[in-house]
Amino acid sequence: MTLKKIGHMIHAWLVKFWVPLSIVVALVTVAIGTTMVLLHREQVTVKIENIPIHSKKGPTAPTVGVLKPGEHLQILQRTGGWYQVRRENESKAWVAGWLVERSKPLNKLTPLSESTVVLDPGHGGSDSGALSTNNKYEKNYTLALAKRVKKQLEKRGTRVIMTRSTDKLVPLAEIPEIAERNQADLFISFHFDSAPEANSASGYTTYYYHKKNQSKRLAQAINQAISPNMPDDMHNKGVDFGDYLVLRDNSVPAILMENGYINSDRDFKHMQSASYQNKIAKSIPTGLENYLETR
């Protein structure tokens, strides 16, 4: 067979098969492109200072170093917001994924920045919760307060999960599951109390159920942090055991805050005000930081 003949054969073959051949080439190009994009997504570049890395997942795991901005990390696995990464020096470590994805600098990076906190605004949707003497719903105030707390926590870099962000009913049994599923470190449920008779009770209480999983200590830390910032006529009823499903069925350190009596006109006046809600919202990160420090 001469070279000329081979040339003719290839030419004939190309003429005959150019359509399927083009399709194959196109598909291979798309496949390579997609792989490149996917591989790229498994990489992240550190943008902010002082992100700690750990030998295991979670803020309490031993710290093995600190990342520098500009460092490229390969993401090996993701769970509960955490990444297992391979560093440029080939070593492996765990890091809070939301912090390595973050570009806005943090004033201070603390264990709270590395924590996942679930906020549960009590009631919602068809469940209005308790009523004020002028028929205002508890569900609206729990949501407003939780949103303010979220804002304060996010300023500190915390990963915040809300059980609801709108006026909807989340079945009670699902609430502790949200904490488990997101591998939360802390859980806070927000409520306002109600007395059988209007204007017969007043004040705020911080409830826990489990002692073993540090919930009682968490309740104490939060109660201590909010108490100096509360209005003078708001009585601190302290920390108490409370048999609530959202606490009982929760393996995460969990508390429930009753932030005043909605059917006390005096308490309700406070509850409605942004300044009262902000006092609580700004005290909670302090309480959480104290709790995390002494862990």
Binding site for Zn ion (CB under 5 A): 122, 129, 191
- Cβ proximity to Zn ion, 122 vs 287, nearer residue: 122
Q: How many degrees, rounded to 5, is the angle at CA 119 between CA 221 and CA 263?
A: 80
Nearest residue to 278 via CA among 233, 231, 240: 231
* Cα distance between residue 209 and residue 190, in whole Å: 15
- Cβ proximity to Zn ion, 161 vs 246, nearer residue: 246
How large is the C-alpha radius of gyration of the chain?
27
Question: What backbone phi and psi angles, to 5 degrees, belong to 119?
Answer: -110, 130
- Cβ proximity to Zn ion, 113 vs 194, nearer residue: 194
* Cα distance between residue 53 and residue 102, in whole Å: 15
**What is the smallest separation between the CB atom of 197 and Zn ion, expressed in angstroms?**
17
**What is the smallest separation between the CB atom of 232 and Zn ion, expressed in angstroms?**
25
Residues contacting residue 16 through CB under 8 Å, at least 6 positions apart: none
CB-based closest residue to Zn ion: 191
Beta-strand pair 92-96/82-86:
antiparallel
- Cβ proximity to Zn ion, 91 vs 133, nearer residue: 133
- Cβ proximity to Zn ion, 139 vs 216, nearer residue: 139
* Cα distance between residue 125 and residue 266, in whole Å: 26
**What is the smallest separation between the CB atom of 169 and Zn ion, expressed in angstroms?**
13
* Dihedral sign computed on CA atoms, order 193, 124, 142, 172: positive
**What is the smallest separation between the CB atom of 214 and Zn ion, expressed in angstroms?**
24
**What is the smallest separation between the CB atom of 256 and Zn ion, expressed in angstroms?**
9
**What is the smallest separation between the CB atom of 191 and Zn ion, expressed in angstroms?**
3
- Cβ proximity to Zn ion, 126 vs 294, nearer residue: 126
